Amino acid sequence: MTPSPHALGATLYMPVTRPDIFDIAVGRKIPELRSLVLCLEDALAEHDIARGLRNLADLLARLDSHGRTRGDRPLLFVRPRSVAMAAEIAAAPHIERVDGFVAAKCRPGHLDPWFRAVDHTELLLMPTLETDEFFDVQETKFFLRELRAIARDRVLALRIGGNDLMARLGLRRARGLTLYDSALGPVLSSLAIRGVAEGFALTAPVFDILDDPDSFAAELRRDACHGFVGKTAIHPCQIAAIHRAFQPEQSEVEIARAILSPGAPAVFRMNGAMCEPATHARWARNVLARFDTLGARDAGTAPDCEILRLDG
């Protein structure tokens, strides 16, 4: 069964060459982690690729022997260096032990090879939007419609490569600000609006300043308000705050249940707000999907973003 995109939560990218990657992949070392990307792209130097592929083969064999299935471990994805590498990995023994691929630098008009690479498998795809085309509204619309036409059911979520998009502009995240306060803000809003309208879930870009908890908390609030379903984490110390940010408040869960109740009035008031099932049903379903995966938090509780430490 295909997992809910809300199950991604905080997604941690790690090089597949890490000596402890098996313990992380089976949920032993970072038990709170919900999704892990085994990286063979940016996280590896060119001279480490062969070792990375050997490590991945060893990891798949160990996962097969270990026997843990989805629900007992984080969702597992591989980020190949190229679509040719993806096709090679998709044919590897025990590939069914991972959930899919992160398709790096997907571009409009270049999707077919990725889907051909996984065609004979049950692997899911998470395309990453991180190239110049996604600054252009028409190119973005073309890409999303092309993706929907080819195989929307294969796509668990779309990931936004915030650092790559900023690099295209010659910019870097500024301390004390969220990405929404930067030149990338309108792009994030545009991708969220158009992606969701075409039926896709999207995840928010990484926050890569580890000692700016106020800006991290502010960005998480805006991520959730934009309808993103998760966020890339740069370090395990960010995981709890990300998960808390995407938890609905208990009052939202109660309102969502009331809106979806078969006997709900056409318009009613609850907790000081107007509720209209005809227009709020999709919101309510999303709230309950988040609740089913992450649980609920108390009203008015912000993400717990302390000064982040790199220890351990």
Beta-carbon neighbour count of residue 71 at 10 Å? 9
Please say if the pLDDT value at position 45 is more than 50.
yes
Tell me the one-letter amino acid at 74. P
What pLDDT is attached to residue 306?
Answer: 46
State how far the Cα of 229 lies from the Cα of 16, in Å rounded to an integer: 25
Q: Residue 221 phi/psi, 5° resolution?
A: -60, -40
pLDDT in tens, 170-212: 999 999 999 999 999 999 999 999 999 999 999 999 999 999 9
Q: Percent of the chain beyond pLDDT 70?
A: 95
Q: Which two tokens stand for residue 33?
A: 């982690």
What pLDDT is attached to residue 304?
Answer: 52
**pTM value?**
0.92
Q: Which two tokens stand for residue 232?
A: 């890339």
CB 67 within 8 A of CB 34: no
- The residues of the chain that CATH labels 3.20.20.60 are 5-246
- The edge-to-edge listing of strands for the beta sheet with 75-79 is 202-203, 158-160, 124-129, 100-103, 75-79, 35-39, 9-15, 230-233
Please say if the pLDDT value at position 31 is more than 80.
yes
Please say if the pLDDT value at position 68 is more than 90.
no
Flag whether 164 is marked binding: yes
CATH 3.20.20.60 for the 5-246 domain, yes or no: yes
pLDDT in tens, 251-273: 999 999 999 999 999 999 999 99
Please say if the pLDDT value at position 28 is more than 50.
yes
Ramachandran sector of residue 118 (left: φ over 0; alpha: ψ -120 to 50; beta: rest): alpha
State how far the Cα of 84 lies from the Cα of 129, in Å rounded to an integer: 19
Beta bridge pairs of residue 126: 102
Q: What's the DSSP call for residue 205?
A: P
State how far the Cα of 163 lies from the Cα of 170, in Å rounded to an integer: 10
Q: Is the C-alpha dihedral spanning 287, 292, 294, 296 positive or negative?
A: positive
